[in-house]
Amino acid sequence: MARRAPHFLLSLPALLLFATLLVTPLVMTVVLSLRLFDLDTGSIGGFTLQNYLDAIGDPYYHGIFGRTLGIAVVTTLICILLGAPEAYILSRMRSPWRSVFLIVCLSPLLISVVVRTLGWALLFGRNGVINQALGALGIGGGPIPLLYTHHGVVIALVHVALPFMVISVWASLQRLDPRVAHAAVSLGAGQFTMFRRVILPQIIPGILSGSLIVFAMAASAFATPAIIGGRQLKVVATATYDEFLGTLNWPLGAALAICLLVINATIMLTYNRVLERRYARFAS
Amino acid sequence: MNRNGPLSLLFHAFFVLFMLAPLLVIIWMSFTPESLLVLPTTRLSLRWFYAILNSRQFLDAFGFSIILGVLAATVAMLLAVPAALAVARHRFIGREAIIALFLSPLVIPHVVLGVAFLRFFTSAGVQGSFIGLLGSHVLVIFPYGLRLVLASLVNADPALERAALSLGASRWTLFRRLTLPLMIPGVAGGWVISFIQSFDEVTMTVFVATPSSMTLPVRMYHYIEESIDPLVASVSTVVIIGTFLLMLLVDRIYGLDRMLVGKGR
């Protein structure tokens, strides 16, 4: 089909936006992360790799990266354990309930993270709902600390990221042919064997791609660890924020942000590679 | 079909409770008549909802977020519709790369975007300005709108277009009578989801917002950092109810399950 103007011109306005507001700022951030910061005067001087050496080598930041990745891994594992069975249960529900509960499980996604995290802060506090309920029931010896703890951050992050796992596994369940499951059952397989031998192998790509999203979200989350974790329990995102708006060491903050970006991108790319190689036959 | 056993249903009940608990607690808490965070058991009161009306900071932030969201969603859709038309139906060199670029804000951590915008706006001299904040929001929400418009274009039957052309429709008629009507649910749904994403965004905005240009989630975040009281719970309840109403709207125009599960990638 011969046309007057090339089609990609239609995407030109958006391309200009992305060149100005995505590519330029990211390049400037990389450059900033390579600049020397003078702690005494607060001025920015020549070029150096010191910020990256600090971000990777300094035990303080080392700890922050370790904690961030630890929280992200645990969050991902819990999301798999909760999200995958729930997606399976949802897919076996009858018609009106299925879409009702699918929306109930997924709609918290659309509510601001700050609001959802506030809910957990209300539940978690020393005088929060959970501890009041336990006290009223006479269970446990005194309040359980949840606010400003690892478990607290993980629980709230699981809540934020879980819908993505459900979506991902749900999508792979939709591609499944129900006749295969019927065949397995009619050939004498029990429900559990059928699930393990027929369903599970086919939803593993969904679980893997869901884990990818959940991990990336948990590793770069800001509001949830900031509110639930507080000042003491810093993660990379909150540490970056503090470098930029607290101590004003912008080059170091930029280096932390770039490290987070690189870690996230590396995990995503390797994961994708593995997914493509091992599960190419499931791609529809 | 196979039914879920009692164990599955128990798990499901726990799951739903887990997903809804924090929201229900906020709503319940916001009706407290006390001045402290105590769950109301005997008496409900609208006291903290009236208190919002006397709180300049929350009212201003609320209005600011709505204006920003409306403008950002509109600009994003004005850019996304032609971009979607370009990449949905036509093959050209670099098409895959362009799609990847357009979707990249979904996979770049928002902290990184916040840092990058702060650096860029500061050196461009627009830090704290409305135009800077608007641009940053347009960029972040662009992929959401694009995906929905793309989905509505890709899912359409290409045979329809060929039929229209072979029956003598001009390019313009084809666009006006076929492509445009097919796109409308995607564009409308995309606008609403873009608005919600802009309204909810906090991680990137916290870097570029200044006291005079503060969105509601950023204002709430700074407030919660200082103290948690019933006022912020009642503000949150308003946000939850508002979001719920928008969800009903999306469900009407596009289908909420279709949008959330998304097939437009």
For residue range B76-92, list pLDDT tens digits in order: 999 999 999 888 877 77
Q: Which residues in chain B (160-189) have CB-CB distances under 8 A to chain A?
A: none
Distance CA B256, CA B250 (A): 6
pLDDT tier for residue B133 given thresholds of 50, 70 and 90: very high
For residue range A227-248, list pLDDT tens digits in order: 999 888 999 999 999 999 888 8
Please report the pLDDT score of residue A56 as a whole number. Answer: 83
* Chain B residue nearest residue A1, CA to CA: B90
Distance CA B137, CA B71 (A): 9
- For the cut 50, the answer to whether the pLDDT of residue A1 exceeds it is no
User: Among B113, B139, B206, whose Cβ lies nearest the Cβ of A17?
Assistant: B139
Which of B7, B14, B19 is the mutation pick for testing A, counting most A CBs within 10 A? B19
- A196 or B6, higher pLDDT: B6
N residues, chain A: 284
Distance CA A133, CA A123 (A): 10
Q: How far is A119 from chain B (nearest CA, A)?
A: 4
Contact B110 A220 (CB under 8 A): yes
For residue range A268-279, list pLDDT tens digits in order: 888 777 777 766
> Sign of the C-alpha dihedral, residues A183, A189, A190, A196?
negative
pLDDT tier for residue A253 given thresholds of 50, 70 and 90: very high
pLDDT tier for residue B51 given thresholds of 50, 70 and 90: very high
Contact B224 A118 (CB under 8 A): yes
Q: Which residues of A touch B108 (CB under 8 A)?
A: 26, 261
Which range (A12-21, A208-217, B28-37, B121-130) has the least confidence? Answer: B28-37
Rg (CA), chain A: 23
Query: What residue type is assigned to position A18 of the chain?
Result: F
Strands, E assignment, B23-82: none
Q: How far is A261 from chain B (nearest CA, A)?
A: 7
Please report the pLDDT score of residue A281 as a whole number. Answer: 54
Dihedral, CA atoms, B91, B95, B96, B99, nearest 10 degrees? -120
Distance CA A216, CA B184 (A): 32
**Under 8 Å between Cβ of B133 and B209:** yes
What is the token pair recorded at A253?
């903050």
Q: Which residues of A touch B225 (CB under 8 A)?
A: 226-227
**Under 8 Å between Cβ of B26 and B237:** yes
Domain ranges of chain A: 61-95+104-234
* Segment B168-172 long-range contacts (CB within 8 Å, at least 24 positions apart): none
- B58 or A191, higher pLDDT: B58
Please tell me if residue B129 touches chain A, with a CB cutoff of 8 Å: no
- A2 or A10, higher pLDDT: A10
What is the token pair recorded at A36?
């020397």
pLDDT tier for residue A68 given thresholds of 50, 70 and 90: very high
Distance CA A31, CA B115 (A): 12
Please report the pLDDT score of residue A197 as a whole number. Answer: 84
State how far the alpha carbon of B190 is from the alpha carbons of A15, B17, B73, B185, in Å: 19, 30, 8, 8
Please report the pLDDT score of residue B2 as a whole number. Answer: 56
Q: Which residues of B touch A9 (CB under 8 A)?
A: 86
- For the cut 50, the answer to whether the pLDDT of residue B30 exceeds it is yes
pLDDT tier for residue B214 given thresholds of 50, 70 and 90: very high
Please tell me if residue B4 touches chain A, with a CB cutoff of 8 Å: yes
* Chain B residue nearest residue A174, CA to CA: B261
pTM: 0.90
Q: Which residues of B touch A14 (CB under 8 A)?
A: 79-80, 82-83, 102, 142
Distance CA A52, CA A252 (A): 8
- A277 or B108, higher pLDDT: B108
Tokens 């036959």 locate to A281
Angle, vertex CA B124, rays to CA B119 and CA B130, nearest 5: 90
Contact A220 B112 (CB under 8 A): yes
- Contacts of residue A202, Cβ cutoff 8 Å, sequence gap at least 6: A172, A175, A176, A282
Please report the pLDDT score of residue A223 as a whole number. Answer: 94
Distance CA A259, CA A65 (A): 9
Cβ neighbours, 10 Å, residue A33: 24
For residue range A108-151, list pLDDT tens digits in order: 889 999 999 999 999 988 777 888 788 787 776 667 778 888 99
Q: How far is B50 from chain A (nearest CA, A)?
A: 19
> What does CATH list as the number for A61-95+104-234?
1.10.3720.10
SS3 A44: strand
Q: Which residues of A touch B233 (CB under 8 A)?
A: 118, 122
- Contacts of residue B256, Cβ cutoff 8 Å, sequence gap at least 6: A103, A107, B247, B250
Q: How far is B40 from chain A (nearest CA, A)?
A: 12
> Which candidate, A179, A226, A4, A170, places its Cα nearest to that of B207?
A226
Class for the domain spanning B56-261: mainly alpha
- Contacts of residue A150, Cβ cutoff 8 Å, sequence gap at least 6: A67, A71, A233
Distance CA B257, CA A163 (A): 12
Tell me which range, B63-72, B168-177, B183-192, B246-255, is most confidently predicted by mean pLDDT.
B63-72
For residue range A167-200, list pLDDT tens digits in order: 999 988 888 877 887 888 888 888 788 888 888 8
Please tell me if residue B236 touches chain A, with a CB cutoff of 8 Å: yes
**Under 8 Å between Cβ of B19 and A105:** yes
Give the DSSP per-residue string, A171-228.
Answer: HHHHTS-HHHHHHHHHTT--HHHHIIIIIHHHHHHHHHHHHHHHHHHHHH--HHIIII
Please report the pLDDT score of residue A185 as a whole number. Answer: 82
Q: How far is A59 from chain B (nearest CA, A)?
A: 22
Q: How many CA atoms lie within 13 Å of B240's alpha carbon, on the beta-carbon side?
A: 22
Contact A114 B224 (CB under 8 A): yes
Please tell me if residue B206 touches chain A, with a CB cutoff of 8 Å: yes
